[in-house]
Structure 1
Amino acid sequence: MRKKIRRVVAATAGLALALGLLLAVGNEYRFEEERVSVPVPGGSLEAVVAHPEGTTRGLVVLVHGDGPVDATYDGLYRPWFEAAADAGFATLSWSKPGVGGSTGNWLRQDMDERAAEVSHVLDWASAQPGLATGTVVLWGASQAGWVLPKVVRSRPDVDAVVAVSPAVNWLRQGRFNLLAELDHDGAAAPARREAVEVSDRTRELLESGADHDRYLARTTDPEPLDADRWGFALRNFRSDATADLQASADRHVPVLLTLGTEDRNVDVAETGSTYRRILGDDVTVARFRAAHSMARPVVEDSDALGLLTGTFWPRALLAPGVLDTYRDFLEGVAPG
């Protein structure tokens, strides 16, 4: 028995050592991360700058999607930082208002205010002697699809855009997501009808401008939105990127549009066709067998596998080719 215990202890220790070595190697990145504070009207944003190890030829400014996201997305953005660094680009990313050390509340912003926030960050960056802002690339995911073209149309200093899984229309995106999730879960007909009825009622209440109390009194959603989230929806549910894309198209800024064939959040067929129709030859569409986050579908659908992969080898979370395509695009961006 004692020999068996010793073997188990030795095996456990060996596994711990192996995992420790894997963690050290998997999370050792080719950039230097600096924490900074970016002043904005009414407060400041807690931010990080990921500097390349060699010569810096430009700056990527990262625009988050939905949710209370910090500057590194709990470390999940670092593989993107590294790919940019390999192309000679620093990356600037900040915690959303009310997250970490950033002041404010992201749920009280509309898309115009989010775009103004990006513009303030760009102004700050251009005044920093340690940042190479001669070439500026905007990187934005998901909800940032309603922010990026607003910034591009108003800022002549944006030289390129990377749009990751953006939607076009808020309401259509919500309905697509609902139906895709019901299909994925194999929902029976009664459950589907109930979910669609809840969605339709929510849309009616949004279009009528219902306050949170009226929403709570009228909704049949078993998990109703809290006051802040309902306010956020009221401010933004009419969002549609089409007009801003059309206005930004006049600048002929190169755009890399990355889409996942397994995306259940966004109708990538609509997004792809809309971007191609409006931006023409200025957009490069790259499709991957990936989920909405550009993650491999297997890790997106397994919390345990996603946690293990994100902890010990976060680069492997993303679908094959995603980071290489991103790096190659940055290497081809012409100086501003």
Structure 2
Amino acid sequence: MSNYKIAIVNSSSFGKWFSKHIERLEAIGPVERFTFDNDIDGVTLAKELEGFNIIISSVTPFFTKEFFEHKDELLLISRHGIGYNNIDLDAAKEKKTIVTIVPPLVERDAVAENAIANLMSILRRTVDSSKAAADNRWTERATFMGHNLTGKTVGVIGCGNIGSRVAEILKHGFNTRLLVTDPNVDNEWAEKHGAEIVELDELLTQADVISLNASLNDTSYQILDKEAFSKVKRGVYITNTARGALIEEEALLEAIDKGIVCAVATDVMVKEPAPNTHPYYSNARILVTPHTSAYTFECLEGMGEKCVTDVERIIKGETPDSVVSK
């Protein structure tokens, strides 16, 4: 195949800061940006992308079996990120479409650092106190009491690429007691960093702070549900930079109302973009950021470089790195 058409789907960041990535793609073939609703059905999505044989995709929309059944010419989906739960890999493989991701280390530091940054924001009420200063309410500063992170017991749910980095920062940066829950945790890593490998229930009952870093699958979906919130330590803080669906939203709101959960920082929502009518936004105990954990110049340059290299290798008949559709 000598004619290539490239679609950038639902990614507002790819090529925004590094025009060289777009220029390299345009040297291969026409490049067009698309923004689709998260819930677009597979048939419609395939029709909208008719003629495009290379896709650089974000975390949405969902490339379903139905999509691949109506998309015969597709050579590559290069994920502008490390997650791929929005792509039916079996259907992709059946249609001989290669699916690639960004290597985990590219996003590791950026996402982990943002999990900590957001956590510190709710622990020290940074956003609230900043608004007070801007409103000339300096005399209210004593009302913005927070908590130290140093010396607390922290629990990391999901201790893979990013979760392990979050754990390292919490352990060595803040001298915390570190609890981790993950079915595939690296025992050697845990011993090196003084992490206690525990069951979920133990983590819930003992952690002052919980960091969600698990991938989204059948076992982690709504891992923090009503039952889990009935077990957590009263006054717990939660930071989530993984997936919104790791938390049962109604159960969280109820736990906050009851004073069980002190505050939550989330960079991810079940449906993105989340409309401003979502109850999270009107809750003073919840800090929402718009999925920006990977938004550092260093990280986005590395992510974009990987996607462009994927495309360049495909047109040469080479196999890209980090293929997940095997």
TM over 0.5: no
TM band (smaller chain): 0.3 to 0.5
Structure 2 length-normalised TM: 0.36
Structure 1 length-normalised TM: 0.35
